[in-house]
Amino acid sequence: MTMHVMGTGGASWGDMPEAPAHLLTKDPVKALLYVADPMVREGWATLVGVLGVREALRFASETALLWLRPDVAAAGAVGEVLDRVAEAGFVPVGANIAHLDRGGVRALWWWQLKRATAERLLLLEAVAALGPGLLVLYRHPDGEPADRLTWLKGSNDPEGRPADSLRSVAGSPNRLLTMVHTSDDPLDVIRELAVFLSWRERAELVASAWASSPAGAPVIEAPLAEVRAAYPGCPVPQPTTAGRVPQQRGEAFAAFVRDVAAPRLAQRWAAISAWSRRVPLLNDGSAR
């Protein structure tokens, strides 16, 4: 297979075509919002450049994207989540190390963060800064893998979440430390490949995943080992009974900013866990 970073056929090498969003999501409002999104166009350009239009549509529809976040790696629960995904019949076809910087945090969750507090933004940045996460691409023999994996993921609210959902298996304690991210539908698969990976990383992963026979665990082993090695000696944070930060932040906010930027990994992880249970996540003062 000839791999191109972008462009296809006789088109200009710099083309960034619009994705056929109406074919990639069941949500008509989302299709309208995303059609000109630069991340969608960038991801779609990669798929078309590597596979061509027809196979790009197949790839997006037949692929689920799972990001095992730095908080699940720090908590030492990556293996349990991967085992649960395999138990549900998903087969990995590609994997890559994936880092998010502060811009990536905002790009990934641009819609969800529209009413976020400063504390929520800074906590998500601090989670991302803990280290690498593991990005895994899956297929499922029964089809609609993105929908199936998102359903398996479970709600960000621990109350009433199934015990065998990915977030429950990971030990997600609250709406901030959700441990696991999935792309909701094929349109998000395209967009989030562009959020997580550079042009070349994305093209190489797409090409190898498309060519992959269902190979199972060996696809994951090398990047998984690298992720695990990045979190030595992270203790399991203990639940805190501390109350919420007062509305007048003052010294509390200064302490929060200082704590989540602690120099040692174990200190940062403990601080992130503790503060995630204390601060409001939305500007109405709620934790939702």
* Residue 196: CATH number of its domain: 3.30.70.141
Whole-number Å distance between alpha carbons of 45 and 8: 9
The verdict on residue 77 lying in a domain is: yes
The verdict on residue 171 lying in a domain is: yes
Across-strand partners of 138? Answer: 64, 92
Q: What is the pLDDT of residue 176?
A: 95
The verdict on residue 237 lying in a domain is: no
Give how far Cα 215 sits from Cα of 176, 189, 270, Å. 33, 21, 37
Residue 108 one-letter amino acid: L
Across-strand partners of 137? Answer: 65, 94
Q: What is the DSSP string of 169-182?
A: HHT--SSS---EEE
The verdict on residue 256 lying in a domain is: no
The verdict on residue 159 lying in a domain is: yes
Q: Which domain holds residue 94?
A: 21-229
The answer to whether 243 and 278 are in contact (CB under 8 A) is yes
Whole-number Å distance between alpha carbons of 192 and 46: 12
Whole-number Å distance between alpha carbons of 223 and 230: 11
Mean pLDDT by 10 residues, the chain (288 residues): 45 73 95 93 95 96 98 96 97 96 95 90 97 97 97 94 97 95 98 97 96 73 95 69 57 90 94 91 66
Question: How many structural domains does the chain have?
Answer: 1
The answer to whether 187 and 30 are in contact (CB under 8 A) is yes
The verdict on residue 99 lying in a domain is: yes
Across-strand partners of 133? Answer: 98
Torsion of Cα atoms, 115 then 275 then 133 then 215, to 10° = -90
What is the pTM (predicted TM-score) of this model?
0.90
Q: What is the pLDDT of residue 185?
A: 97
The two three-digit tokens of residue 277, written as one number = 């249970």
Whole-number Å distance between alpha carbons of 98 and 105: 12
The verdict on residue 260 lying in a domain is: no
The verdict on residue 235 lying in a domain is: no
Q: What is the pLDDT of residue 213?
A: 66
